[in-house]
Amino acid sequence: MRYYLGGLAARERNEDSDRHLAFYLTFVAGAVNAGGFMAVAQYTSHMSGIVSAIADNMVLGNRSLVIVGVSSLASFIFGAASSAILINWARRRALESEYALPLGVEALLLLIFGLSGFFLTSGSFSTILLTISLLCFIMGLQNAIITKLSGARIRTTHVTGLVTDAGIEIGKLFYRNDPKRPDLAPVIADRGKLALLLSLIGLFFSGGIAGALLFSRFGLPVAALFALPLGLFASFPLAADIKRYRTRNG
């Protein structure tokens, strides 16, 4: 079990560790997206709707909603950029925590989100702005982690790309190759990829249900339930780097 948990955020990757980490992060993204809606009545994991909302609210003259939208977009971008900075910084130093660093940051920020209800004024514009910005930063950070470690094969925070890719594979699956044209390469669906895509879609949906139920019943502190496993995954590579540092420096 220790070897398995330590491998989820390790520098040395394989297909299983990529897939299993993606499963959990997709579930978390669905749950946090639902939790964000419960907290501030806005989804925070997909930027398509947010960019469209910015354009709509600019035309309608809703200045405060434009501010929220721009802040959300900027926070998502900054989260992704921060993840890339941490990963590349660790990679240049050959640290085991190459992916564990941003994962640990995500866990910490989820804990802050869970505790935010104790020190922020509920319902105020500043609280809504800070909460949405925090969640968008987390989602950008997370999406960049899985994008970097999977070589851009997997996304976890938005379903549009997953559904599109699943639709493509389903189209290939039902395509009828013409037996009279053996000279043409047959159209063949990647069943393994399709299974992965459908699993990720299902996990995002399941995470949304779990998040909606838990956040509506117990409030923001539920975020700790999703943060603690992330912190556990990150702790093994981080501990290895700390041990190596202490050994080198006596």
Question: What are the backbone dihedrals phi and psi of residue 8, each rounded to the nearest 5 degrees, phi first?
Answer: -65, -35
pLDDT at position 98 over 70: yes
pLDDT digits (tens, 9 = 90+) for 109-125: 999 999 887 777 777 88
Amino acid at the residue 29: A
For residue 7, tell me if it sits in a domain.
yes
Mean model confidence pLDDT for the chain: 88
CA distance 117 to 126: 13
Q: Which helix (H) or strand (E) holds 223?
A: helix 223-248
For residue 248, tell me if it sits in a domain.
no
Token reading at 88: 């590349």
Q: Which residues contact 30 (CB under 8 A, 6 or more apart)?
A: 45, 203, 204, 205, 206, 207, 208, 209, 210, 211
Q: For the purposes of burial, counting CB atoms within 10 Å of the CB of 196, is it exposed (0-12), middle (13-18) or buried (19 or more)?
A: buried
pLDDT at position 86 over 90: yes
Its pTM stands at 0.89
Ramachandran region of residue 128, left (φ > 0), alpha (ψ -120 to 50) or beta? alpha
Residue 152: predicted pLDDT:
63
For residue 201, tell me if it sits in a domain.
yes
Q: Which residues contact 148 (CB under 8 A, 6 or more apart)?
A: 83, 84, 87, 99
Domain count, the chain: 1
Residue 10: predicted pLDDT:
87
pLDDT at position 48 over 80: yes
pLDDT digits (tens, 9 = 90+) for 116-161: 877 777 778 888 889 899 999 999 999 999 888 877 667 777 788 8
Map 164-190 to HEC letters: HHHHHHHHHHHCCCCCCCCCCCCCCCC
Domain that holds residue 55: 2-241
For residue 247, tell me if it sits in a domain.
no
For residue 140, tell me if it sits in a domain.
yes
How crowded is residue 161: how many other Cβ atoms within 10 Å of its Cβ?
Answer: 13
For residue 26, tell me if it sits in a domain.
yes
Confidence of residue 238 (pLDDT cuts 50, 70, 90): very high
For residue 210, tell me if it sits in a domain.
yes
Residue 137: predicted pLDDT:
95
Distance set, CA 237 to CA 92, 118, 140, 150 (Å):
16, 32, 22, 18
pLDDT at position 250 over 70: no
For residue 206, tell me if it sits in a domain.
yes
DSSP 151: T
